[in-house]
Structure 1
Amino acid sequence: MEKQTSKIFGIRAIIEAINAGNSIDKVFLQKDVNGPLMIELKQLIKEKNITSSIVPVEKLDRMSRDNNHQGAGALIAPVPFYDLDTLITATIEKGETPLFILLDQISDVRNFGAIIRTAECTGVHGIIIPKTGNAPINGETVKTSAGAAFNVPVCKVDHIKDAIFMLQAADIKIVCATEKTEDTIFDVNFNQPTAIVMGSEDRGINPSILKIADTKAKLPLLGKIGSLNVSVACGAFLYETVRQRMS
């Protein structure tokens, strides 16, 4: 079943959607629009830690087309988002060896969907993304994932570094996929609790994240091309993990 990302407009409608427990991907607020209801919405966004953006009226006009947006629009994600701390605890309590993926601002929804699909096939316990800068989970993401987006928990965090510190506190080792190392994936022990970090399509992993990783690893490249597509690279890391854990 494919479930498209829903768009809703109107300040009261968004307030009701948030209070009803809908998984809000992002809220767009028109610049310079104020009033009691808008203040209430902004407070609710802050309380629920929902991603929001101040935009010109033209953007909301384009988003809403013929709808009366009243200065606010929102995207409802087709899947729920999970609390990372709760997910880590639940994974450990199941007695399984944790395996997580952190995505450092993957921008292409097709890459994101392909990663989710491979993650589901390889038993990943959760995918962690930043609240800003990452491709959204929308209808295209769900379609590319072949529905796997409904089966793999996704956690949204303010900062990837904070998620890394939380994982490390639970004795989950951080492995960064980067060419800035001499070690290959065959030098890494994936039998231990592991979280694999994949970088963005254009710049790779942020240097500040590389500094706090436990391990860095690269894929051997024997041809003339200097890098792989991020979803393909992620698949290689995950299946090396599967190979080691099944041996």
Structure 2
Amino acid sequence: MLITGKNAVYEALRSDATVEKLYVQRGETTGVVKNIIALAKEKKIVVSVVDKTALDRITQNAKHQGVALTQTEFVYSSLDDILSFAKSKDEPPFIVILDELSDPHNLGSIIRTAECAGVHGIVIGKHRGVTVNDTVLRCSAGAAEHVKIAKVTNVNDAINYLKSQNVYVYCADMDGEPMYRANLTGAIALLVGGEDSGVKRLSKELADGVISIPMSGKINSLNASVAAAVVIYEKVRQDRK
């Protein structure tokens, strides 16, 4: 897997990911890039200095910001890994379930928000929707290296399993009760739908509750990553009251 961009590359090096090689554009040796090179050498990773034309070719003209690296494929976690991680921190599980999200930029943005908010893990479907790729890693600004992500065969089975583990599942949908009125404290999984059709009917029916983001304008919906961020931080707000 190829990762590009200063933040994504730096976070990949800081994580436990197996990095194979670091590429640095000739002349890029200051600031963050200097720290990236030092960290790579500390981990005994091969550093290859190339000219911009070569780096453009290696990255297929991606916005590399003068650095790129190759690493082994992204390693997913399991639902039990996520639950165990929450337990190890002595915190009630805080999980985000994404139902057929298709845009890698949205997934990357949600991962970044989740990491900042202290979410213990994210659940995505294996067969429908976007999975973790280089675009997701870049858009997450490296946060994907620090968030446990479970790729499951069936999202509905995952919902049922989390419910069996005493995790309360809330579905975010425009016809739910205002999120400010719901009790989002404790062990919670937030179910967020895809960009086009939202949460699937059966998934919504399996949820313990349905919440909405109050709208006052003429547009009645938000971008998926923005909606996820709003709901995630409403839970954070309630937890800190």
| Alignment root-mean-square deviation, CA | 1.7
Q: Is the 8 A contact 1:79 1:149 kept in 2?
A: no
SS at match of 2:136: helix
Separation in structure 1 between the aligned mates of residue 172 and residue 211 of structure 2, nearest angstrom: 5
Q: Is the 8 A contact 1:77 1:138 kept in 2?
A: no
> Is 1:104 aligned to residue 99 of structure 2?
yes
Give runs of ≥4 in structure 1 deviating > 2 Å: 76-79
Structure 2, unaligned stretches of length 5 or more? Answer: 5-17, 19-70
> Where does residue 150 of structure 2 map in the other structure?
155
- Which amino acid is 1:191 matched to? T
Separation in structure 2 between the aligned mates of residue 89 and residue 144 of structure 1, nearest angstrom: 27
Separation in structure 2 between the aligned mates of residue 149 and residue 172 of structure 1, nearest angstrom: 23
Of 170, 174, 183, 1:175 maps to 170
Structure 1, unaligned stretches of length 5 or more? Answer: 5-21, 23-75
Structure 1 residues 148 and 220, CA gap change in structure 2 (3 angstroms): same
> How big is the shift at 1:78?
4.3
TM-score (norm 1): 0.68
Separation in structure 2 between the aligned mates of residue 96 and residue 138 of structure 1, nearest angstrom: 29
- Which amino acid is 2:164 matched to? A
Separation in structure 2 between the aligned mates of residue 172 and residue 139 of structure 1, nearest angstrom: 31
TM-score (norm 2): 0.69
SS at match of 1:88: helix
- Pairwise mapping of residues 58-137 of structure 1 onto structure 2 (< 5 A)? 78-137=73-132
- Pairwise mapping of residues 1-247 of structure 1 onto structure 2 (< 5 A)? 3=3, 78-181=73-176, 183-247=177-241
Percent of aligned pairs with the same residue?
36
Structure 1 residues 229 and 77, CA gap change in structure 2 (3 angstroms): farther
SS at match of 1:110: helix
> How big is the shift at 1:136?
2.2
